[in-house]
Structure formats: structure tokens, C-alpha cells
Amino acid sequence: MNDPRLGGQVGTDPMHTLTTHTGHARADAKAPDAHGTLQLTAEEQEMMDGKKGVLLQKAIKTVVAYGELFGADKLVDLQCAPHHAVSWGSDGIVPLLKIYRELADGGLKTYAPFTADPTPMDPEHLPVSDAEQAAVDKIYNRMDELKDLNTRLGMRDPDKDWSCACYLPEMGNTPKKGDNLAWSESSAINFTNSALGARTNRNSMGIDMLCNIIGKAPHFGLMTDEGRQAVWLIDVRTTKMPHPEMIGSAIGMKVMEDVSYIIGMERYLTDGVTEETTGYLKDLGAATASNGAVGLYHMEGVTPEAVEKGRALLNEGYQTYVIDDAELDRIYKSYPDLWKDKHGTPQRVFLGCPHMSYGQMVEWANRIVEAMDKSGTDTVKCPTYLFGSIYVKDRFEQEHPDLVKKLYAYGAAIPINCPMMWCSTPVEGAERVATNSNKTRVYTTARFFFDDDLTHLIVTGELPENVR
Ligand code: F3S
């Protein structure tokens, strides 16, 4: 069910009642001190006092009040560049657009040019019927307004910079270890905290913009050394490298938003965080962040802070969760089938949420083309989409022209929008979508399937009998 507070167009968010969405803050949240506890510098105090204008005063007051709610002791300067989750212009975000307009009219911009999540639709590469388009036009009726405001507020390239995987090298909004940020896209937050060692809380939309306008964020939760300590030991004892979506889902559902320290994965990810392992860690993290609300995990021998500090990252009295083959199987079997026609034939295959890395795009294209070549049929039997940023798509098209030609000839497409938001209108959401993403599964009625089952579906138009 959609949450009415979100305007009805955004997918389900089963965790919002259970977490604070600020990472590790659930255990640390404090009631605000009537006098405030957050220490400001002289320059910040001037801003608070309105000496730098009324808009900056409003912005910093809001950021400080937010920080004090969670016991922040100070504001910290932000580095790298912002990334914002707001990417859909609809009536559901009118209050937010009002704030954006006030800031833009005042001539303010973010401290560095920002990127944003993918937009809901890509009519060129994922066309919809007239009925579907009518639903889309009604719901996402403020896209031009959002794009215009983003442009004025400092978006890097408003024609291109819409992807949740902004940290991939092709898009290049890639923080360094120790950078402070105020991001709001849960999957990007998880990757940048965990795999890159940067620091951001799971900020709400709006707070992100205000922090990025003043170039500062409150210092609490995942931005602090203590907040980055793990309270769970995740002991992975699977007999083979686990599917990233399944291990992420298991961790997210168990720890909800707590920080965990994962052991056992270093057997499989021997080279640490590399271009090759980025896709895996991205998907694992996104599953923890959506099946739970995880903003940070450490992985022994793999992620930068775990490499540096090892098990000193584990707090005393930590809890342990053992994940083996049987546990992953139990979790997979627990996923509900939310299709209206439970055993209906799937109508689309959605691959890549978060947006695919370059390596994943090449791998999936090869997988599809090889399976289609073998099958002897001319066209995919279930419409198939590989979602990625325009930058990853461009690189793929340039570096693999023959593969791309075959992929497109078989009828697969590479849209640049967000598959979850595409599924979140009443018309599109009624379709039976099969996905390889546990995030799309959690937020929509789409069903999750493993890669071999999806390949079978793409080639034959049917799911294998054992998973129907
Ligand atoms: Fe990205 Fe949309 Fe999935 S923002 S993580 S493709 S829900």
C-alpha cells in the first residue's frame, strides 16, 4: 500500500515506522534541549543571527534544529558534491518545491554542483501506452518545474545528471574516504559510507538541500566515529559466493538500520573494493538499505574502514547473525507474490536498481545475447530493460558496438529512468514485473527472481516451472 503522506505516487516504504532513517541514530536519538547543545562557530552564529540574509538564516536554523534532535555537537563542512534523491516533480512535493523556489529566487546555490536520482520515466527507451501516459502526466506533472529549480540551485548538468549510482566513475560524483556529505538517496548513502568510507547520514529530502545550501551538516550518527561502530557481527557461512541481493536482504531485515561488521565475504571479494566488485557491493548495500534501512556496513578485509581498523569496529556486547545457505533460502521463500494474477505470465523484465555499473551492463548484455543466439529466436519474448545512467550507457555503446547492436536487435532496451518509480503509478504498477532487484521488489509489486530464471524468461517468455 502506498503511504498517503507521500502523495500516493511513491512506492511502499515498510520501514518508515520502524526507523529514524538517520542511520545509527535510532539508539542515540535524544529529545531536543530547550537551549540547544550544538556549538556554532562565529561564522555560523552570524548566519544564525541573520547577518548573511534571511534565507541562509532560515536554512541554518532548520539544519541546527534537525541536528539537535539527534544530539549533534557541531556542524561540519561538506566536501565532494551533493547528491539529491528528489527526482520526481509531482503535487506530492509541492511544499518542497516551495522551499526550493524561495532559495532559488534568493539566488542561492548548493556548495558544489549536485547530481540527482533518476527521473520516473524515459519515454524514448521505455515507451508506454496512451492510458499509461495519461496516468504518468497526471502524477508527474511538475517535472519541468523541478528541472528548472534544480538548474537554478546548481545541478551539474540538468540534461544528464540523473542517476542514483552517481558515485560510479562514469558519472564521477565519487566521494573520497573521510569526506562529509549530506546525501539522501539510501543506496548511494550506503555505498559511499560503506565502500568508499565517506560520511553521510540518511538525510531526508529537503534537509539535504538545506545542508547543501549552507555547505554544512550536523555532526551525529554515521558522521561520527562512535556512530560508525558496529553492533552486529554478520557471520557469512554460505558454501558459495552469495547473491548480493539475498545477502543484503537478509542483513537489512535482521539489523534494520544498525551498523554491522560482516565476516566471511573476504573469501569471495579478495581484491576489496574495485571496479569489478563495485556492482556487487552496490547491490548488496542497496538491499540492506531498502529491505532494512542500513546506511553503513563494514566488511572484513574489503571495505576501507574494516581494512584499516578490523574488528576494533565491533562494539562490546555486539549481537551475532549467522547466514548460511538455508537462511538465504528461507528468506527467498518468504518473499510475497504481490501480483494480482499470482501465476500470470510476467509482462516485463527490469534489471538494475540501483542503476547498473558498466561491468554489470556488459555482463547482462552478454548473458542475454548469448542466450538469445542459442535459442535461435529473433526477439526477446518478454520486454527487457537494463537500467543505467546516461554515462554508463554511452560508455557501453562506445566500447561494445557489436554487442549493443545485437542486444538492441533482440529488442532489449537501456532506459535511464528509475524502474521503481516507473512501477509506482497505478497503471504501470498493475503490470507483472520480474526484477533482479530486491529494492524494486520491496517498493513495488514486482517479483524478485535469480539471474538464470530471468534469462529463461527473457528467451522463452515464461518463468521456469519451479518458480512460477
Ligand atoms: Fe535507483 Fe530508483 Fe532503484 S533511485 S536505487 S533505480 S529505486
User: Looking at residues 89-112, what average pLDDT do you find?
Assistant: 97
What pLDDT shows up at residue 31?
Answer: 54
State whether the beta carbon of 166 lies less than 6 angstroms from ligand 1. no
In the predicted structure, residue 241 carries a pLDDT above the cut 70: yes
Evaluate whether 34 touches 65 at the Cβ level (below 8 Å): no
Cα-to-centroid distance, 41 and ligand 1 (Å): 37
Among the listed ranges 107-121, 209-223, 283-297, 414-428, which one has the minimum average pLDDT value? 414-428
Q: Which triple of cell numbers denotes residue 88?
A: 520526481
Of the CA atoms within 13 Å of residue 107, those in its CB half-sphere come to 3
Burial zone of 340 (CB within 10 Å; 0-12 exposed, 13-18 middle, 19+ buried)? exposed
State whether the beta carbon of 118 lies less than 6 angstroms from ligand 1. yes
Work out the percent of the chain whose per-residue pLDDT is above 90: 87
Cα-to-centroid distance, 419 and ligand 1 (Å): 7
30: confidence class by pLDDT, cuts 50, 70, 90? low
What pLDDT shows up at residue 11?
Answer: 41
What pLDDT shows up at residue 134?
Answer: 86
State whether the beta carbon of 355 lies less than 6 angstroms from ligand 1. yes
Query: How does the average pLDDT of the chain come out, rounded?
Result: 93
Cα-to-centroid distance, 301 and ligand 1 (Å): 28
Query: Look-up: residue for cell 561540519?
Result: 76
More confident residue, 28 or 411: 411
**Closest atom, ligand 1, to C-alpha of 87:** 4
In the predicted structure, residue 262 carries a pLDDT above the cut 90: yes
* Residue 348, φ and ψ in degrees, nearest 5: -150, 155
DSSP state for residue 178 in the 8-state scheme:
T
Q: Which triple of cell numbers denotes residue 306?
A: 574494516
Nearest CA to ligand 1 atom 7: 420
Q: Nearest-CA neighbor of 104 among 73, 134, 146, 44?
A: 146
User: Looking at residues 391-399, what average pLDDT do you find?
Assistant: 98
State whether the beta carbon of 187 lies less than 6 angstroms from ligand 1. yes
Nearest CA to ligand 1 atom 2: 418
What pLDDT shows up at residue 53?
Answer: 98
In the predicted structure, residue 21 carries a pLDDT above the cut 70: no
Evaluate whether 239 touches 277 at the Cβ level (below 8 Å): no
Among the listed ranges 157-171, 200-214, 371-385, 419-433, which one has the minimum average pLDDT value? 419-433
Ranges of H-type helices in 154-206: 186-194
9: confidence class by pLDDT, cuts 50, 70, 90? very low
Which residues, in sequence order, are CB contacts of 326 under 8 Å at separation 6+? none
What pLDDT shows up at residue 12?
Answer: 42
DSSP-assigned letters across all residues of 197-212: --B---PPTTHHHHHH
- C-alpha to C-alpha distance for 165 and 279, rounded to whole angstroms: 10
In the predicted structure, residue 34 carries a pLDDT above the cut 70: no
State whether the beta carbon of 388 lies less than 6 angstroms from ligand 1. no
In the predicted structure, residue 89 carries a pLDDT above the cut 60: yes
What pLDDT shows up at residue 311?
Answer: 98
In the predicted structure, residue 27 carries a pLDDT above the cut 80: no
Cα 392–chain centre separation: 17
Query: Omega before 354 cis (within 30°)?
Result: yes
State whether the beta carbon of 197 lies less than 6 angstroms from ligand 1. no
pLDDT tens readout for residues 202-239? 999 999 999 999 999 999 999 999 999 999 999 999 99
* Residue 433, φ and ψ in degrees, nearest 5: -105, 135
What pLDDT shows up at residue 468?
Answer: 83
In the predicted structure, residue 33 carries a pLDDT above the cut 60: no
**Closest atom, ligand 1, to C-alpha of 352:** 6
User: Looking at residues 352-381, what average pLDDT do you find?
Assistant: 97
18: confidence class by pLDDT, cuts 50, 70, 90? low
Which residues, in sequence order, are CB contacts of 194 under 8 Å at separation 6+? 281, 285, 296, 297, 298, 299, 303
What pLDDT shows up at residue 146?
Answer: 98
State whether the beta carbon of 117 lies less than 6 angstroms from ligand 1. yes
What pLDDT shows up at residue 7?
Answer: 35
Coil, helix or strand at residue 224: coil
pLDDT tens readout for residues 269-324? 999 999 999 999 999 999 999 999 999 999 999 999 999 999 999 999 999 999 99
- C-alpha to C-alpha distance for 1 and 444, rounded to whole angstroms: 9
State whether the beta carbon of 216 lies less than 6 angstroms from ligand 1. no
133: confidence class by pLDDT, cuts 50, 70, 90? confident
- C-alpha to C-alpha distance for 198 and 203, rounded to whole angstroms: 14
pLDDT tens readout for residues 64-84? 999 999 999 999 999 999 999
Among the listed ranges 29-33, 36-40, 100-104, 148-152, which one has the minimum average pLDDT value? 29-33
Among the listed ranges 44-53, 268-277, 428-437, which one has the minimum average pLDDT value? 428-437
Cα-to-centroid distance, 355 and ligand 1 (Å): 7
State whether the beta carbon of 446 lies less than 6 angstroms from ligand 1. no
User: Looking at residues 324-343, what average pLDDT do you find?
Assistant: 96
